[in-house]
Structure 1
Amino acid sequence: MRAISYKPSVASFADFDIGAEELPIVSFVGDDEEWTTNEKAIEDALGGKGVELNRRVEEGFWVVHDDDRPVLANRWLLVWQRLSSGQPSKRAPWFLQLSGIVVTGGFSWASDGLPQNVVLASETVSPPPFNPRELRFRKAFDKVLRSPVFSDLRDNDVPGEAWHFHRQQKTRQFWSAVKQEYLSAV
């Protein structure tokens, strides 16, 4: 996955509006997940193939459950890397900008080879909401994410259940707590 390197839409997380109607979704990727793009599914769904469509799958995000589709569509996603211990790695989180297009069977996990659905990355990328690599933000983000209050944002998926749909309110509380921690570190 490519980390967004465009100039953020606000200079600092201090200026980020945590009261906005749609906040970035917070999610994770594992540190040992290997997968393969299903080029036939991409070609069938989008009528083409090539490097750009593969990029959109690679920078897209796994749709675990149908209820997650409307939550993920056309949203910013702040992704962090989850270690096998369930804790965040030291790697800075990064933004993905998602489209509203879901490709059924767009990729497969190497572990089981079963087709998985993916919401594609946006065709064009806008400036991200803020710079997630800012050291003060990273410290606040990490501290809040490790808090027991937000353990369900670190939990692995429950088979057959939506992941993002049920965590929307918790995500809003999470952004508020990160902002509070960020501002208290001044």
Structure 2
Amino acid sequence: MPSAGRAPALSVEDRQAMIIERVIPLLLEHGREVTSRQIAEAAGVAEGTVFRAFGDKETLIEAAATAFLEGRHRVDLEPDIDPQLPLEKKLRLLVEGMRHRVRDVMRMAAVAGHRGPGAGEAQRLRFNAMISAVFDGDRAQLRIDPDELGDYLRMIAIASTIPIGSRQFSTDEIVGFLLHGLTLPPTSGV
């Protein structure tokens, strides 16, 4: 049994995974300015334990950034969206979650020095399958097949998260655009 103040016995790989999981939120908040003390406190271990697991702070930062960008970190991108919710509510929840994720990917890419998100094809397909399941019941209301909807939503979430001058789009504006597009409804009798 570990003594008070000591971290429980874990394999090196398990200890690294635990530290990475806890350092990712710090990197998103503080970037490379995060201190080894903050890392140790978040992980619930001594600073020496962090250095024994990774050697140095830069190695840890690179490992955490890579895990996040490759999708190995637990991601809340796949929210529990009730397929029975109205279409507009589902879109709002999804767009909000995706925009948050894109902001985090951009922050982490800056920390890691990467130029763009590192999501692989498997992650894209998993996300698209989740989107298809959530929106399958709305098929009759959609112009786009639910199986293809994930790629469209990803494109809009990424594009709407990148600042364009001082213009920022709200989630409501994006959902309105998704629901109603660019055109007004046809008027009768004109």
TM-score normalized by the length of structure 2 = 0.27
Structure with the higher fraction of residues in strand conformation: 1
Q: Report the structure number with the largest CA radius of gyration.
A: 2
Normalised by the length of structure 1, the TM-score is 0.27
- Larger % of helix: which? 2
